[in-house]
Amino acid sequence: MPRYVVFGQPVGHSRSPAIHRAFAAQCGLALRYDRCEVAPAAFAEVARDFFARGGAGANVTLPHKAAALALADVADPAARRAGVANVLTPVAGGLHAHNTDGAGLVRDLHERQRLTLEGRRALLLGAGGAARGVAWNLLDAGLAELLVVNRTERAAAELVARLEDPRAAAAPWSALAEAAPFDLVIHATAAGVLGQPLALPSGLVAAGGLAYDLSYGSAAAPFLAWAARAGVAACDGLGMLVEQAAEAFAIWHGVRPATDPVYAMLRASMPVAASLA
């Protein structure tokens, strides 16, 4: 039976096994999918051993996404430009790294949240691996403007420089109120995961706009609470999680499963459903 795994630390929360098992059942496939908690210092060795023993594919979550890209022998354009990977696949001569996060986010925004990105103003809060994993896809989807804001201003400026797109700009956190409003506000910082306070002005989201947290579950709670206080529509990243998993499933099995039934199954079990994998 083909073996798949999700690597992370922590990883006990991950819904990836349930998602991929549901996809496999839907498509009439048999597979084994497990969690593997591994410390950063041991990730490369453990991942190589998994594939050496016949592993068919791996999802990668925090804090190993940059290490996953470094481990690979070849990478798709999305992983190369983001500098992080969330999927590893064995190929002749080594490992192929992929990044499906951005594609998953855009698909969830378009098809589940019914938000057209073309011509919109978007704010990206954060400039780390999560933000890098989605920034290019947002621009590719037709945004008119993408403002990147991070507590460390240098990181935001570096991401914008890598984007090499005149529609992207960086700004200090203190300029948020002045730059508002935005049609889409995406929260990609680790504040929720780390339990840190989230200080945001109330007028960030334009009328009819959306606040979106890339996390799901408890890590998304502070941002969703801010959105509720601000009186704006908001959602967590559960839909993105399912959509990026479907992209990985298609890479491994050559068929893209239906995501709505799996999303509904997960949402029923976690009404405010986080981590990034």
- Quote the pLDDT of residue 83: 94
What is the spatial distance between Cα 205 and Cα 146, in angstroms, rounded to a whole number? 14
Known active-site residue 248: no
Q: What is the dihedral of CA 148, 151, 154, 160, to 10 degrees?
A: -10
* Residue 237 marked as a ligand binder: yes
Burial code (b: 16+ CB inside 10 Å, e: under 16) for 180-219 equals bebbbbbbbbbbbbeeeeeebeeebbbeebbbbbbbbbbb
Q: Which of 20, 35, 65, 121 is catalytic?
A: 65
Provide the CATH topology of domain 102-236.
Answer: Rossmann fold (3.40.50)
* Residue 234 marked as a ligand binder: no
* Residue 216 marked as a ligand binder: yes
Per-residue pLDDT of 12-33, as tens digits, reads: 888 999 999 999 999 999 999 9
* Residue 127 marked as a ligand binder: yes
CA-derived radius of gyration, the chain:
18
pTM of the model: 0.93
* Residue 259 marked as a ligand binder: no
Per-residue pLDDT of 160-191, as tens digits, reads: 999 999 999 999 999 999 999 999 999 999 87
Per-residue pLDDT of 49-108, as tens digits, reads: 999 999 999 999 989 999 999 999 999 999 999 999 999 999 998 999 999 999 999 999
> Do the domains at 3-99+241-269 and 102-236 have one common CATH topology?
yes
Quote the percentage of the chain above a pLDDT of 90: 88
Q: Where are the chain's structural domains?
A: 3-99+241-269, 102-236
Provide the CATH topology of domain 3-99+241-269.
Answer: Rossmann fold (3.40.50)
- Quote the pLDDT of residue 271: 59
* Residue 4 marked as a ligand binder: no
* Residue 263 marked as a ligand binder: no
- Quote the pLDDT of residue 273: 37
Compute the average pLDDT of residues 147-166.
96
Per-residue pLDDT of 243-264, as tens digits, reads: 999 999 999 999 999 999 999 9
Cα distances from 158 to residues 36, 59, 125, 275, in angstroms, run 32, 27, 14, 25
Asked if the model's pLDDT at residue 274 lies above 70, the reply is no
